[in-house]
Structure 1
Amino acid sequence: MSGNKSIKVQVKKDHISKQTKSQPIQALAEIIWNALDADATKVEVLFKENPTEGLGIEQIILRDNGHGMTYQEADQLFSSLGGSWKAQRRVSQQQQRFLHGQEGKGRFKAFALGRIVEWYVNYKENDQFYAFNIQGRADDIDQFFLSELTRPDVKKTGVDVIISELHKQFKLLDADYAIEKLAPVFALYLSNYPGIIISVAGQKLQIETLISRRDSYQLQPIQFEGKEYAYEMEIIEWNQLNEKEIHFCNAQGLPLYRHEKSINGVSAYSFTAYIKSEHISELHNAGNLEMFEWEPSLQSVLKNAESVIKQHFLQRRIDDSCHILQKWKEEKVYPYENEPGTTVEDAERKVFDIVALNINESLPAFDKADNKTKTFQFRMLRQSIEKSPEDLQTIIKEVLNLPSEKQQELVELLQETSLSSIITASRLVADRLKFLAGLEEIIFSPDTRNTLKERSQLHRILAKNTWIFGDAFSLAVDDKSLTQVLKKHADAHGIKAVIDEPVKRIDGTVGIVDLMLTRSIPRNHSDEREHLVVELKQPKVAIGSKEISQIKSYAFAVAEDERFRTLKSKWNFWVISNDYDSYAKRERSQKGYSDGVIYQSDHTDETDITIWIKTWSEIISECKHRMEFLKSHLDYNIDANDGLKYLKDKYAEYTKGVLDHIV
């Protein structure tokens, strides 16, 4: 190449070689992006066949009508990796279109397709037209050859990229395949700039005919390095393509990374999901986007996006099958008459529709069954959904006899969407609200509080519902001695302690603790535990000096026994009843203590202990407050009778003689 100038890339050869590693379609897309960033309105991808029959395609040619690059820019750009003029801009020079690339690495991707790459450049400067060419070889990747500058006869601008000595006969050399793979990459860009034409072997990339539907969703924002980033996602469904993929994009929707992962439950649809955020651009610029498996902030985004995608196609499936649902309603086999009135009812209805439609699709015999059989089966399905989504999974696997692949897809779909979670949460909240209503009634009603027994009834019910004292606590000791409390304290720290002497109160007696609950302390204290010791009193008993002395004796036994001091723990002691006397009122109103606290160890004590007087009205009020948000969103309205019936049905053995009047 006499007369040509040699350009040496000022980067190590092995580092440049890494930039040439790319999937064929990605490499082709990068060259097209370079053309679009140079304000091209027309980009042609052409395939030149070898004149010898049977040898296939010998060259890939990409031709654009962009502004090209100047002779001086070429010298600078090809002598370095990076340093692109685009790094200093966000929009193109002439058309002010959003830029895809900013790093100057795209030109090296062409070597993923062939050994020799040539750039034939035409550009305009000061009303004069110029031309030159550049050539590079994959086996000498750190050196390019720049031709002399000429004045061409043809007055035009643009770049022809010619790739020769192809590494193989790629799939993308089939125009239909190339169109199918390029469409998701350029869909949003071509939608934003409809005047642009991209063609492959004369076949135009017609996005408007390929897209069947577009939907946009706001995703949850994320915090990254002290800054909040907004996220949104656009889902495009395709008419003819067979795609199911996710693209991470910059805020303008230009794809920067294709995520290859299958999503369960969307097999019936062809789509591309575009996740957009400035955060993605920053990760891309820092070189961290392709390593997203190790980036926690992106993992939460992906999880959120996958959930939204599944919800989207669940609803699409139901919408597409409206005629089947309508047929069942007309046959009067559909088990719902009225429209759903609450969030929970809506979730239950959607789960029913999804499962029923899958049964109808997978079991041809079902549609041929008589209406009486369908009515019975649908009623059983509805009851299973309302009772528990977990039972529904058993029915799907063991009763419905669906194909194994369909079973797995359906079970995973129901597990991973929020519908089952809504139903499960609703059952939990409903049961807890009923429990609180019933507990409040039997504790405060004159008809029940005087007959309710503390140890054999109230105690036993609460031992099965320790969430009332806080969801993070778990039951450790139930009606056991202080010695057992010490053992559980050691167990909580993973220590197998040999306890050869019982724990005794100051007066030498062995105390029996009603309930002991324990939990880990959050906020970077994984080696610490918090214990809650509860002393229950019969509702008719007002807390006074006797009850206060008892709870203090338990607390001080812990404080005085050196075996409790060796492990980091926080201890809370509660004595609970409906009311307290004037002595207790003064005790729980001491200056410097929180309301209800009657003793607090100071920082010099080796054991952290707090003693409380609590009333049932305070505890029930705190529980109701914790669930108020869920209650309002799930539209529950529980009265006292609902609660009493729940207690009688659930805890019949512990409410005998107390709730016999409840039907």
Structure 2
Amino acid sequence: MKKVQLTSDGIKKHLASTTPVQSCAEYIWNALDARAKNVEISFVANEIGGIERIKISDDGVGIPHELLDSKFGVFLDSEKKSRRKSTKRVLSEIHGKDGIGRLTFYSFSQRAEWETVYEADGRKYRYIISVDSSNLVNYPANNPEEIDAAARTGTSVTFYNVDSSVIDVTNREFRSFLVGEFCWKLLLQDDVTIVLDGVPLTAQENISEDTFLCPLVDIDPPLTIRMVRWTNKLHREFSRYYFSDSKGSERFTDFTALNKKGDAFYHSVYVSSTFFDNFVFESEYDNQATLLDSEYSPKNEWFKIAKKSADDILRGARKDFLRISKDKIINDFVERKILPPYNERNKWEVIRHTQLTDTVGELYNIQPNLFTSGSVDQKKILIRLIDQLLDSSEAESLYKIIGQVLDLEQTEKEALLDILKVSRLSSVVKTVKLIQDRYRALEQVKRLNWDAELNAMEVPHIQEFMELHFWMIGEEFSLVVAAEKDFEQALRELYAKISTPLTDGKLDHADKNKEMDIFVVRQDKYHNKIHNVVLELKHPNKRLGKKYVRQVETYFEVVFSDARFNASNMEWSYYLIGNEYDNTGFIDAQLENAKNHGESSLIFKAKNHKIYVKRWSELITDVELRHNFLNEKLQIQREQLVLEEGAAKTADEVISRAQSLSCVTKG
């Protein structure tokens, strides 16, 4: 009786990490390593539908009896591993290298039985080997018997008393695993077939992109290149080049330069040419391949050109892949709140956010590992550091830091520097354009209010202008309704915007049909607050007094009377805006009474409701002060902007120009 030179418990300890499905893959690799062209996995079901037996058959060379001990008797030092010691890998891997595949069955089966047929001296022999899961050190085998010389060589291994709870060869996951294990091999050797339950495995089941180029004839001899991008990562194979001769036989393999980039660009490249018919190399025992100075070797200029052609195709495909992937990465970062929050209603924050996402996206193109490895907190820290550097005068420091930390090629360093320059320039250009247009808008609203020759009217001109440019009230507001809608309808639209449609109940207030000029709302999603703003705009010729204040107070009373619009996270601001106060002193008195609240222009406060009165001059000054620091930094000459544009001759022309400005607020 033959015995493995290790205890059964010791073997199981070494094999503990091998799953049942990985075990089945090992047996298939054993078949392919034995030069099998056809491998079939079949099974027998029991009476209740579970799997009773699994059988893996092949048409390889079998296991010659004189090699039995080298195949089964030396654990962790198989004959295949010994073969590998003498050569650097220049062909596809010999997978049964550790001599363990044959014993991994113990995790899902009680007993394994090999029936093998081999050829020796022109004759065919058959014998059987058995191993029990309770005693893996023993591998009893009967004496070989001679059989018909026409019999096919090969080996079939049958696993008995299968535990269906740990392995199910009928489910999709089992098949998917085998496809991920062997797809690259099936393309490399198109004469190999692996059949699972009567259905052949195909490489196409794991292919996302298949680029097949007809023979490139600009070099002699011509070559054919096929680049495949895999949907899922290959299990135990890196991304490699495979070089084959005119008969399809593999003659050489090497890693591509795009392994371990952290970008999910899983690929294989297949190159074939008659050049490889005479391809030669010489191996030495010290595991270093010494290439001959031959016309047909990797040292040959033709080979270098061929490999570069394949590399160019590969890098082009990866560039396209990353262009799509970076959008997914950015969206993922937004959903997981890795990117810093920003208010999409705030033009400044939009510009800064765009600059950051553009930079992150382009950095991902160069070095995906920056953003695919590490924890969520680590990614947040990295992106916020990038954001701070971009927002300072130290943007080029980012280039220096990344260049020092990462091993970038020269072309990647140049691309990185260009990205930072372009991103920052783009941000500055957008900011300058936005500020320029805002100053144009300020000049336009001044003319609407104070240029009597324009004959500006309240609704078609002043109100429409503020609808387009209510950023003057605040950066973050979103238009709910403007003009000619009663309060009840406006509040319904508010409720639909911030929550769910208000389909039941009516406003119970005598003034519910009062019409508002402009009603805007801001939602602060990050602090769970909702800020609503109601504007009452008056023609420049109308002086503000008690009558118009009372009109705004009516809006307040309508809203305040309904609990649905008075949640603790809701704030309401009401603005009465006009040119001048009347001479009654009413508004001055109201301002004096509310002075203790410490807010400019406030005349009334009740819970989360505030009423303000502003002159147009005060509103415009507030806007100018908000932009002053950027104005000084970017040195914008407002007068020059107006001169370049030329003065509008009518109020309608002012509105037309206002509609075309980049600072128009989107509702």
TM bin, normalised by shorter chain, reads 0.3 to 0.5
Larger Rg: 2
Q: Normalising by structure 2, what TM-score?
A: 0.41
TM-score after normalising by structure 1: 0.41
